[in-house]
Amino acid sequence: MANSVDSIYGQVREMAANFEFKPEERINESALSKALGASRTPLREALNRLVAEGLLYAQDGKGFFCRSLSPEKILHLYELREAIETHAGRLAVARASDDELRELRDYLKSSQNEYVPGTPPHRLAEMDEGFHMRVVGLAHNPELVRALQNIYVQIRYVRLIAIRNKLDLTHTAHSGILEALMDRNADLVTQRLADHVRTSNEEATQTVRQAYSQLYVPS
């Protein structure tokens, strides 16, 4: 598994997630493969995986292109996220052991002192993602985790921008979700997750809208 395709796949996936390719930009296979120290063959295999994941798209005869993020697409991804996370929350209430919930509490506690101004955004996003992935992990369902990971990769870039200045709110929301989980209150877990995801969605959508407006309104 430490072969070339997997390695390239991971690297290009990160590049695509972070929009190191511009939206709609064509990916030059020769240049990228050279930059990654491989030939076009394994690169193209990795690119095809990323097409299947929705991070890139392919046009016959033209090559591979970076996806773009419209406000609508962000909305759609967040709706899918809400569907998965709320359902996972319900399952977690039924399936998570007390030990697992205590681990989640410890994770939240240990990250509490990092939810302060000065923490770099990528770290904030990482902690946020870490919490959510752990919650969904408590549903003991790898397919839910898998689907959610795919979404997070796609929205990571926007979250990274939108997450600034939301420190307290995020941590408070997470604490509320944990509390509802420990109370084994499925309805409350669902509601709080839904509220939290919707809030994030509004921030993210607004972020993309602003980015769009900046594109079309020259300075």
Say whether residue 77 binds a second copy (CB under 8 A).
yes
Q: What values do phi and psi take at 13, rounded to 5?
A: -60, -45
For residue 28, the partner it binds in a second copy, DNA, none, with Cβ less than 5 to 8 A by kind, is DNA
Q: Which does 217 bind (CB under 5 to 8 A by kind): DNA, a second copy, none?
A: none
Cα–Cα distance for residue pair 100/105, rounded to 1 Å: 9
Instruction: Write the interaction track for a second copy spanning residues 132-171; mark x where CB under 8 A is met and - where it is not.
Output: -------x-xxxx-xx------------------------
Q: Does 108 bind a second copy (CB under 8 A)?
A: no
CA distances from 189 to 86, 196, 199, 202 (A): 7, 10, 15, 20
Residue 37 CB, nearest approach to DNA (Å): 7
Does 6 participate in binding a second copy (rule CB under 8 A)? yes
Which residue stretches of 113-185 are H helix? 121-137, 142-162, 167-182
Tokens read off for 193: 């997750």
- What is the 3-state secondary structure of 103-132? HHHHHHHHHHCCCCCCCCHHHHHHHHHHHH
Task: Assess contact for 208 and 71: CB atoms under 8 A.
Answer: yes
Answer yes or no whether residue 165 interacts with DNA by CB under 7 A.
Answer: no
Provide the edge-to-edge strand list for the sheet that holds 26-27.
26-27, 63-66, 56-59
172 near DNA, judged by CB under 7 A: no
Tell me the CA end-to-end span of the chain in Å, nearest whole number.
48
Region binding a second copy by CB under 8 A among candidate stretches 19-27, 48-56, 105-113, 200-208: 48-56
Residue list 17-76, contact with DNA (CB under 7 A): 26-31, 38-42, 44-45, 58-64
Rounded to a whole number of angstroms, the minimum distance from the CB of residue 131 to a second copy is 19
Residue numbers at the binding site for a second copy (CB under 8 A)? 1-3, 5-6, 41, 44-46, 48-54, 59-61, 73, 75-77, 79-80, 82-84, 86-88, 91, 139, 141-144, 146-147
